Amino acid sequence: MGNRHLKAKSISNKIAPSEQIQIANIHDKSYSSSLSESLEFTHLLSMGSNDKGQLGRNLFKEDDTETYPIGPVLELYHKETPKSIEDEYERLEMDSRILRDIKHVAAGRSHLLLVTNSNKIYAMGFNNYSQLGFKEEEQYIPRLRPVELPEKVSSVDGVAAGWFHSIILCDGGKIFSSGHSFFGQTFDVKMGSSFQRSNKMKFLERDNCKVNSVHTATFSSSLLVDGWKIYACGEMDANSNSSNYLVPGCDIFKQKESIKSVKHADKGIVVLTHKGNVYMANKDRGFHEIVQNVYSFVPSHMYETTYFLKNNSNILTECNLGPFSVRSNIDIGRFVQKYGLENIQICAGYCFYYLVVNKKRVYSINGTELKEILNLEGVSTSVLIKEVVSTSDCTYVVFERCISTASEKLMKTRLLKNQKHADLLITTQTTQLD
């Protein structure tokens, strides 16, 4: 497996139930595993560009102009090559355990942060400003590599990634940052070669505040604290207080409406309340209501384009965020009526928008067009889609954690019968998804 690399045989960015993943060794032996078996080995698929090593599939070559179809992330970074087949088995077991234990992910311009349920942090992709927490001389990290923090933590509660920076939330109130800091988007942490803890934000732990979530835009960052206070820094700080980063006008979420979710976009900080009202704050205006009766509202980091679903509605609406205006509507009644709004998820990154239906299908959204790119219907697996995240040039499909099954163990046994130096070929027998 050491020199294994992926070769895309299909120009279609789809995985169908009939797709086969073939592993062939130097003796021309081969083993084909179904998508279901692959999902028992890894819960992370990637597709798109890989000129920065962002796909994590050992395909990397600098200045690569190819766009790769969707495929599995199977291996992590290891300093040494395995010395025996037993060592390789242990490595596969360890990699598989990590790749099936995903708690949080975040994607930046061309980099990915991944956190496991055992609170281990991994990163891959572009590292030109040490946004992955490694020395910037290592610009490209083509496989997931462990990230070290400057102090021990008990839990990793959230991650967020901007264009060239990353934020990690630990122990309910410790904020660590790394990467580009020209716009002040890493709070008071200056650009270095590793993650450092914010000194200015230590009052959160001292005052027993609870940081609920962390968010980023291109050159901005924000925190939701105690369920109603928002602290922001960087290019789009919504006129936050320079001494403690508190955004003015948050009292409305304590006194009038409770927060359901927060999104940080380049046009402003967007809040969806449990009442279904959407508020936005930017440098021109404090928190003000922009739309009502909303079930989910998802802007991208960078673009004005935003998609939202209203309560009791069959319509997915495309709009401009600033100033707010509706562009177009997409009828998704066939999904809503069959599965309910609670099983319709909108996902957005920098440049890509996706609709996840019933945790089994993924559609790309482009204006009023929906294009199916992944379908688990008919696939023999209990694994479900958790979310879709994207950088400016690639996309990751993340799956929910599940218990190891006998078929996964069988797959590993068959994999180990092959020689160490194997090629992983992705072939698609059909480009149609039902």
Q: pLDDT digit string (tens) for 16-59?
A: 333 333 332 222 222 234 677 788 889 999 999 999 999 998 77
152 and 93 within one domain:
no
195 and 306 within one domain:
no
258 and 174 within one domain:
yes
Q: Residue 187: name the closest of 176, 203, 171 by CA.
A: 176
The Cα 43–Cα 60 span in angstroms is 21
380 and 304 within one domain:
yes
Indicate if the pLDDT at residue 1 is higher than 50: no
**CA-CA distances (angstroms) from residue 53 to 141, 159, 356?**
6, 20, 26
163 and 133 within one domain:
yes
Indicate if the pLDDT at residue 184 is higher than 70: yes
Q: Residue 381: name the closest of 364, 404, 398, 362 by CA.
A: 404
DSSP string, 246-313: BPTTTTHHHHT--EEEEEEETTEEEEEETTS-EEEE-SSS-SEEEE-SEEEEEE-SS-SEEEEEETT-
Query: pLDDT at position 431, please?
Result: 30
248 and 130 within one domain:
yes
Tokens of 143: 């496989």
Across the chain, mean pLDDT equals 86
The Cα 385–Cα 362 span in angstroms is 9
Sign of dihedral through CA atoms 20, 348, 302, 351?
positive
Is residue 248, in this structure, part of any structural domain at all?
A: yes
* Residue 123 neighbours by CB under 8 Å, 6+ apart: 111, 112, 113, 114, 132, 133, 134, 141, 144, 145, 147, 166
Is residue 390, in this structure, part of any structural domain at all?
A: yes
- pLDDT-derived band of residue 391, with 50, 70 and 90 as boundaries? very high
186 and 314 within one domain:
no
Q: pLDDT digit string (tens) for 393-406?
A: 999 999 997 655 54
User: Percent of the chain beyond pLDDT 70?
Assistant: 85
Query: pLDDT at position 8, please?
Result: 26
Query: pLDDT at position 37, please?
Result: 77
Is residue 152, in this structure, part of any structural domain at all?
A: yes
Instruction: Point out the domain boundary residue: 227, 249, 267.
Output: 267
148 and 247 within one domain:
yes
Is residue 315, in this structure, part of any structural domain at all?
A: yes
Q: pLDDT digit string (tens) for 186-236?
A: 999 999 999 999 999 999 999 999 999 999 999 999 999 999 999 999 999
Indicate if the pLDDT at residue 250 is higher than 70: yes
Per the structure, the complete domain to which residue 178 belongs is given by 111-267
Q: Residue 391: name the closest of 113, 7, 138, 104 by CA.
A: 113
Is residue 22, in this structure, part of any structural domain at all?
A: no
303 and 255 within one domain:
no
Q: Is residue 412 classed as helix, strand or coil in its secondary structure?
A: helix
Q: pLDDT digit string (tens) for 105-144?
A: 999 999 999 999 999 999 999 999 999 999 999 999 999 9
β-strand pairing of 6-8 with 423-427: parallel
Indicate if the pLDDT at residue 5 is higher than 80: no
Element housing 132 (H / E): none
The Cα 255–Cα 246 span in angstroms is 17
Q: Is residue 325 classed as helix, strand or coil in its secondary structure?
A: strand
122 and 93 within one domain:
no
Indicate if the pLDDT at residue 378 is higher than 60: yes
183 and 48 within one domain:
no
Indicate if the pLDDT at residue 433 is higher than 50: no
Is residue 288, in this structure, part of any structural domain at all?
A: no
Q: pLDDT digit string (tens) for 272-306?
A: 999 999 999 999 999 999 999 999 999 988 888 99
Number of domains in the chain: 3
Cβ pair 269, 233 in contact under 8 A: no
Which domain CATH number covers 216? 2.130.10.30
The Cα 144–Cα 222 span in angstroms is 26
Query: pLDDT at position 409, please?
Result: 54
Is residue 285, in this structure, part of any structural domain at all?
A: no
Is residue 322, in this structure, part of any structural domain at all?
A: yes
Q: Is residue 51 classed as helix, strand or coil in its secondary structure?
A: coil
Query: pLDDT at position 347, please?
Result: 96
222 and 131 within one domain:
yes
